[in-house]
Structure 1
Amino acid sequence: MTTGADFVTLQADGISVTLDLAVGHIRALEVDRGEQRIAPLHTAPWIGDSHASDTPAHLARLSGDFLCAPFGPSDIDGSPSHGWPANSPWRHLGTEAVAGGSVARFELGRTVMGATVTKEFTLRDGHPFLYQRHLFSGGEGAVSVGLHMMVSLPQGGHLSFSPKLFAETPAEALEPDAARGHSLLAYPARFTDLKHAPRADGGTANLTCYPFDRNHEDFVMMVEKPEDRLAWAAALRHHERDLVLSLKRPADFPATLLWMSNGGRYYAPWNSRHRGVLGLEEARTYSLNGHKASIAPNPLSAQGIPTSIALGANGEVDLRQAIGIMPVPPGWDRVTDVEARGGTLAVITDIGEFTVPYDPAFVLHR
């Protein structure tokens, strides 16, 4: 483990993760396999630039992955968009060795609706996974949550997912003002075939191939099947010949969100330079509608799909995800399934499969 004024790096055999303590964002997640170093998570091109005084910290230091609480607009507790966990400092509580790896713990300097928030990273020797846990202790009320992972796809790639109930776009386009940006999908729209997502121009877009067009900013929420124990999302980067996996319990995060940011914002700090970025985000939220809408009765909660977590003075909420990054064999185009087999995870396609070390008990912890 290494530390600095703003960063802490945790290492195990073949993998490392660096946290930006100023905002709780992962600045780097890297896996070494032989002579190949895989580092597919995104860092914004404007980090280090001077920013306007009203630029939220999460945007000025945008990188990798971070916890949002609430997810999206914050219209209850006075925090910036995506909440204090994404915009304020975290404290490194310490790092300890565990059998075959290490665990680092961090605590948010502020509270979320009165709750103490702890971030825990676990790395295991030889495992190409970051096992991350967020624990909310105490507090009062409810809040939406999300894990805001961003994958860099400068040469594009193929997206695959475990089966979903449906996908939908929000009521309004991300960029409705043509002078400020451009969105391509139809808003609102609900659909089940990701290869035929409705476009605003009357056509369809294939969301399994990213980017599906140029100069656009779009957003889609995909809702999980509640009966599934394990859900997954995969971004296979063809040019780099590597794969990013997200593994979760639908009971923790009932939705996967796709933020497709490909040069469609013209204003600062974006300036049309934020390209080939895919937000592959696991969430418990009412789309982009913010804190107040997510904790109130809404169309998703009416269908039995949770859109927030409930906090309590004597309670805890434990949310977990595994992020995997790994090389793929030559000729691979897409992932068709993943399957936990004892202490390994099988990654499957229609032309073959491979296995990697994996701890299935971490995500399926209860």
Structure 2
Amino acid sequence: MERWLRLRAGPLDLAFDPEVGNIRRFTLDGREIFHTAHWVGTPAAEAAGSVIDAHLAGDFLAAPFGTSDLVSDPPHGWSANSRWHPVVRAEDGACAVMKLALEREVMGAKITKELRFCDGHPVLYQRHVIAGGEGGLTFAHHPMFRVSPGDRIAYSPKRAAVSNAPLETAHILAANTRSEDLTRFPGADGGTVDLTRYPRGSGPGETGSGKTGHEDFVTLIEADTGGIGWTAVSRAAAGDIVVVLKDSRVMPVTMLWISNGGRDYAPWDGRHDGVLGIEDGCAAGAEGHRAALGGNAVAREGVVTAFALRAEGRITLRHAIAVLKQPSGWRGVARVHVGVDRLTVEGLGGGSLEVPFDGTYFSV
């Protein structure tokens, strides 16, 4: 029996794993857009130590985000570790829709998921509704992409970028610091790191261990928390531009996971490199669940880092991933604009690209 649930529309094809809650594959014209860790589906996955790492691929909703120090849920919550059951799989006019419900509650809240493809749109639309519950909840999307050294990364305007304690000994970003200039984030070696390009490599880890890889995590805080936030990655090897869009009213931060060979233990084995996680959500970066409910480095930038659940309340998370073909001579993204029925991507040095897009999606 097929484990995955499929959603198809024209050249778009999606496979969702209902047992662990992740979008296992997302393809356009048969080409995979998401990253899958090299150990997934092999015996080496048993060394991962968690459900998340054993099935590390695609995108999933983390709620609570990270490892909670307030509740006993597994890392990234039951939303990424337990079963979702399908409610609807149907054609909805010009769109193909899959709706699912998480079987377990998260801090007393019920969570539903909607995945949607629309005819002619090279876009994965994704919506979650979190209803009821009690307490302060953190959450984030977790899409992962394969990138190449030097690939350009562009963003909607940010207030600042903030780092926490390093994930691993081998890292290139300075710990517990901030910068308003994304092209010159303080580096662990005393220099600076350009967050608008995927790193080309690094020197030894901070302890002089001789590692050449690195593992880094940094939180970007949205400047306009009432609009649409976006991250656009121009991928040279894939020949495309991936644009990740979010409703910054409920997801005021974008957390970047730069996994570039900095974990030398199983099943990572130093081979998990060239991976970028674009984690849009509401959290205190890597400080943790408890910190997100009080004072923390991200909250001091003036944004909410946890949403208060209420018995009669509900939170709607709107998120979309668009994929555009990269033209010859493309230098990177300057701006992204969402119109009534179009997504426009403006290039560095001039020129623009357009694709069909549901401009009402973030305003409903």
**What is the TM-score with the length of structure 2 in the denominator?**
0.92
SS in 1 for 2:190: coil
Match of 2:205 in 1: none
- What is the match of residue 194 of structure 1? 182
In structure 1, the partner of 2:3 is 6
Match of 1:363 in 2: 362
Alignment of 1:84-95 (within 5 A): 84-95=78-89
For the 8 Å contact 2:87–2:100, the answer to whether it is kept is yes
Deviation larger for 243-252 or 61-70 = 243-252
1:205 to 193, 203, 206: 193
Is contact 1:205–1:212 with CA below 8 Å preserved after alignment? no
Give per-residue Cα distances to partners, 1:214-262, cap 9 Å, x unaligned. Answer: 4110111000013551111011101221011111121121011111001
Deviations 1:334-360 (A, max 9, x none): 100111232111111123111100001
SS of the residue aligned with 2:316?
A: strand
Matches within 5 A, 1:1-366: 5-32=2-29, 37-50=30-43, 51-52=45-46, 55-154=49-148, 157-170=151-164, 172-176=165-169, 182-214=170-202, 215-349=213-347, 350-365=349-364
What's the C-alpha RMSD, in Å, of the aligned pairs? 1.7
Contact 1:8 1:18 (C-alpha < 8 Å) held by counterparts: yes
Residue 38 to residue 310, structure 1, CA distance change in 2 (3 Å): same
Q: Which amino acid in the other structure matches residue 227 of structure 2?
A: R
Aligned amino acid, residue 191 of structure 1: S
CA distance in structure 1 between the partners assigned to 2:227 and 2:282 by the alignment: 16
C-alpha separation between the residues in 2 aligned to 1:326 and 1:229? 22
1:230 alignment partner AA: I
On the 8 A contact 1:70/1:290 being kept in 2, the answer is no
Secondary structure (helix, strand or coil) at the match of 1:110 reads coil
> One-letter code of the match for 1:351?
G
CA–CA distance in structure 2, aligned partners of residues 69 and 204 of structure 1: 33
Q: CA deviation at 1:129?
A: 0.7
Give 1:326 shift.
2.1
* Inter-partner Cα distance in structure 2 for 1:70 and 1:91: 20
The letter for the 2-side match of 1:306 is: V
Deviates more, 1:256-265 or 1:47-56: 47-56
Q: State how many pairs are aligned.
A: 352
- Check conservation: 1:134, 1:320, Cα contact below 8 A: yes
Instruction: Tell me if the contact between 1:286 and 1:298 (Cα under 8 Å) persists in the aligned partners.
Output: yes
State the identity as a percent: 39
| Contact 1:175-1:265 within 8 A present in 2 as well | yes
Deviation of the 1:299 alpha carbon: 4.2
- Structure-1 separation of matches of 2:89 and 2:322: 21
For structure 2, the residue ranges without an aligned partner over 5 or more in a row are 203-212
Post-superposition CA distance 1:11-54 (Å, at most 9, x none): 1122121111121111111122xxxx442210011112334478
Distance 1:305 1:76, change over 3 A: same
Give the Cα separation in 1 of the matches to 2:15 and 2:287: 31
Q: Quick one: distance in 2 between partners of 1:112 and 1:56?
A: 18
Distance (Å, rounded) in 2 between the aligned partners of 1:209 and 1:354: 21
Q: Once structures 1 and 2 are overlaid, which stretch shifts more, 227-236 or 318-327?
A: 227-236
State whether residues 149 and 200 of structure 2, in contact with CA within 8 Å, keep that contact through their aligned partners in structure 1: no
Tell me how far 1:93 sits from its aligned partner. 1.6
Instruction: Give the match's secondary structure for 2:219.
Output: strand
CA distances 1:184-222 after superposition (whole Å, capped 9, x unpaired): 111011112222111111111122111332411011100
SS of corresponding position for 1:281: strand
Q: Is the 8 A contact 1:216 1:262 kept in 2?
A: yes
DSSP-derived class of the 2:298 partner: helix
Closer/same/farther in 2, CA of residues 48 and 9 from structure 1, 3 Å limit: same
Rounded to whole Å, the distance in 1 between the matches of 2:276 and 2:159 is 21
- Asked if the contact 2:48–2:266 (Cα under 8 Å) also holds between the matched residues in 1, the reply is no
Kept in 1: contact 2:225–2:252 (CA 8 A): no
- Residues 295 and 272 of structure 1: CA distance in aligned 2, closer, same or farther (over 3 Å): same
| Alpha-carbon spacing, 1:227–1:295, altered in 2? closer, same or farther (3 Å) | closer
**Contact 1:15/1:126 (<8 A) preserved:** no
